Amino acid sequence: MSTAGHGISLKSSHYDELLERGLTVEWAEALTENFLDRGGRPSAVLERVRADAQIILHGVSMSIGGLDPFDPAYFRALKELRRRIDAAFISDHLCFGSVGGHQGHDLWPLPMNEDSLTHLVARVREAQDRLGERLVIENVSAYVTYRESDMSEPAFLSALLEEADAGMLLDVNNVYVSSRNLGFDPIAYIDALPRDRVRYIHLAGHADHGTHLVDNHGSPVCDEVWALYAHAIARLGSTPTIVEWDSNLPSLDGLLAESEEARRREARALEARAA
């Protein structure tokens, strides 16, 4: 398995093109829930793309920080899909997304404190036991914090990743969005993360609502996030990087062009690091 390279997230509006021409990047990230237990076009796209690229299964509904019991059917289907396409990573988010059996279809923040950490470590371990492999956990964009939080997010994440022996998906855009919304230093955030735990990186765009930024994956990566990415690469070294879009979607070539831009910027950051 490669530990470097670049890629994009798979979007349904590109499926026909992907079936026809495949991919020319090293990595493809599939939103897990769009491919679980289903056939038709999504399944065919995954089979086609895996001939060209390594696949990452990126979930949004595991609710790692939630209190509802894990859904055994979800894990069975995820494990089967992972086996079928030989996915390189299974990732999901540092959040909760269900309460009392009701799904929020969103990534809700967790309090950062010892109670929460103890719960998270047990949940990540349980998820990993069910899957038979390490999870990769992504930092989310946040718009609010809990009064009960008494740890910084990097400290919380570092402890979680170490105690649960999990990997991290560093979403650089999420770091930037949260830093603006909650008022912290994004450079210090990245510097405080455990370097050896980061498995891959997300880049994306966001919307500026004046009082706050919204992580909508609907615009090109902005200059500030590119600068933060260069800082992350300088610290982490070469790291697989995925460009994510969910709204105002560009063409497949547009997406690939932004991925190539990430490749160029990574190369420059690595050169600067070596100098």
Partner 1 sequence: MTDLQTLQRDFWRAVRFDPTPTDALAHFEGDERMSSAERLAVYRNMYWYRQVEALGETFPQLREALGGEPFTKLACRYLRAHPSARPTLEHVGQFLPAFAAEHAPAHAGLCRLEWARVEALVSRDPAQIATAAGIDPTSFGTSRVRFVPSLSVVEVDSAALTAYDETHEPREIYEVAVWRRRFTVRQLVLEPEEAAALALARTGEPVAAVLASFNGDEAGIRRAFQMMSRWLERQWIETFEPIPSS
In the complex, which residues of this chain contact partner 1 (CB under 8 A)?
33-34, 36-41, 43-44, 60-61, 66-67, 71, 74, 96, 99-106, 108, 111, 113, 115-116, 119, 143-148, 181, 183, 211-212, 214
Read off the tokens for 22. 């495949």
Give the whole-angstrom CA distance, residue 157 versus residue 49: 32
Question: Shortest gap between Cβ of 54 and partner 1 (angstroms)?
Answer: 23
Cα–Cα distances in angstroms (integers) from residue 50 to residues 4, 41, 47, 210, 267, in the given order: 17, 14, 5, 41, 25
Residue number, 99 or 267, with CB nearest to partner 1: 99
Residue number, 67 or 272, with CB nearest to partner 1: 67
Strands 207-208 and 213-214: antiparallel
Residue number, 7 or 65, with CB nearest to partner 1: 65
Total residues found in the chain within this entry: 275
Residue number, 69 or 101, with CB nearest to partner 1: 101
Give the whole-angstrom CA distance, residue 80 versus residue 74: 10
Residue number, 44 or 257, with CB nearest to partner 1: 44
Residue number, 99 or 272, with CB nearest to partner 1: 99
Read off the tokens for 190. 């990245």
Residue number, 18 or 233, with CB nearest to partner 1: 18
Strands 136-138 and 102-108: unpaired
Give the whole-angstrom CA distance, residue 142 versus residue 133: 28
- Across 191-229, b (16+ Cβ under 10 Å) vs e yields eebeeebbbbbbbbbbeeeeeebebbbeebbbeebbbbb
Give the whole-angstrom CA distance, residue 262 versus residue 225: 11
Question: Shortest gap between Cβ of 211 and partner 1 (angstroms)?
Answer: 5
Give the whole-angstrom CA distance, residue 82 versus residue 130: 13
Question: Shortest gap between Cβ of 130 and partner 1 (angstroms)?
Answer: 15
Question: Shortest gap between Cβ of 100 and partner 1 (angstroms)?
Answer: 7
3-state secondary structure 171-198: EHHHHHHHHHHHCCCHHHHHHCCCHHHE
Question: Shortest gap between Cβ of 29 and partner 1 (angstroms)?
Answer: 17
Residue number, 44 or 272, with CB nearest to partner 1: 44
Question: Shortest gap between Cβ of 216 and partner 1 (angstroms)?
Answer: 9
Q: Please name the amino acid found at residue 238.
A: S
Question: Shortest gap between Cβ of 96 and partner 1 (angstroms)?
Answer: 6
Question: Shortest gap between Cβ of 263 and partner 1 (angstroms)?
Answer: 31
Read off the tokens for 126. 């349980």
